[in-house]
Amino acid sequence: MSGRLFVVGLGPGDPQLLTGEADAALSTADALYGYGPYLDRIPPRPGQARHPSDNRKEPERAAAALRCVAEGAQVAVVSGGDPGVFAMAAAICAEIEAGPPAWRSLDITIIPGITAMLAVAARVGAPLGHDFCVLSLSDNLKPWPLIERRLDAAAGAGFVIALYNPVSRARPWQLGAAFERLRRHLPAATPVVFGRAVGRADENVTVTTLDAAGAEAADMATLVIVGSPETRIILRPGRESLVYTPRAMPEASA
């Protein structure tokens, strides 16, 4: 039997947000590879091996999965959200490029998933309804001055901004510094959304404004959306507010 690799997006955590294609790939795999807490979301199946690994070990996990596929197995590597957004699909590609030539002949299928920003946006309205930028705040893999330059460019040009990896134990100050940077460009009343663990038991989504936004509202599982000057908050009596960015721009903004 010839091997096959599925790189599967699990979505934000609620099994109802998994696609049919992802479910099918998970059910046919001989072996699953992934960050332990992501594997824990998948019901066990008899005869299916599981290889959990730490979330800092993505290159090693990708290489291990590719070796297993090269030996003829059907393998699924899982990512939370979408595997193509700051996740395993790029790690797999990097290992294929750097690895033995035979890995370039392997059968690879990437299965998209609901990435965190889409799930968080859906909870509050449509903050990503107009042009937006998506930025990882982790400076483990890129220098902080480049992140600052990108925040300046995005806010200066009127993009809404979705921030992945806002904080971690090893990166406690970056989100606060990003808010400070964005306050140079954006009005104090710019809406900010903190979305944590959407669709899971510990979900917590809050809406605030840029002047009031503090890094302590986020943890590793949080996705932050900072609006543009066009982003609006609709107050609703007895219901959560809606946050949205209109598709139509006033001509004066040009």
Give the footprint of its own copies on residues 216-245 (CB under 8 A).
Answer: 232, 234-239, 242, 244-245
Q: Is 145 in the site for its own copies (CB under 8 A)?
A: yes
Q: Is 91 in the site for its own copies (CB under 8 A)?
A: yes
Burial class (CB in 10 A: 0-12, 13-18, 19+), 173: exposed
**CA–CA distance, 218 with 107 (Å, rounded to integer):** 39
Q: Contact, 145 vs 162, CB < 8 A?
A: no
Binding span for its own copies by CB under 8 A among 30-38, 46-54, 92-100, 204-212: 92-100
Q: Is 132 in the site for its own copies (CB under 8 A)?
A: yes
Single residue of 4, 130, 185, 196 touching its own copies by CB under 8 A? 130
Single residue of 3, 48, 55, 129 touching its own copies by CB under 8 A? 129
Single residue of 114, 167, 197, 215 touching its own copies by CB under 8 A? 114
Farthest-apart Cα atoms in the chain, separation: 62
Single residue of 51, 108, 168, 208 touching its own copies by CB under 8 A? 108
Angle between helices 58-70 and 88-98 (to 10 degrees): 60
Q: How far is the CB of 240 from its own copies (least distance, A)?
A: 10
**CA–CA distance, 9 with 245 (Å, rounded to integer):** 27
Q: Is 100 in the site for its own copies (CB under 8 A)?
A: no
Of the two residues 153 and 212, which places its CB atom closer to its own copies in the complex? 153
Residues 213-221: contacts with CB within 8 Å, 24+ apart? 213/179, 214/176, 214/179, 215/166, 215/167, 215/172, 215/173, 215/175, 215/176, 215/179, 218/166, 218/167, 218/175, 218/194, 219/167, 220/165, 220/167, 220/168, 220/169, 221/196, 221/197
Q: Per-residue contact track with its own copies, 149 to 188, x per CB under 8 A?
A: xx-xxx-xxxx-----------------------------
Binding span for its own copies by CB under 8 A among 38-46, 62-70, 126-134, 174-182: 126-134
Amino acid letter, residue 115: T
Binding span for its own copies by CB under 8 A among 36-44, 49-57, 137-145, 174-182: 137-145
Of the two residues 81 and 167, which places its CB atom closer to its own copies in the complex? 81
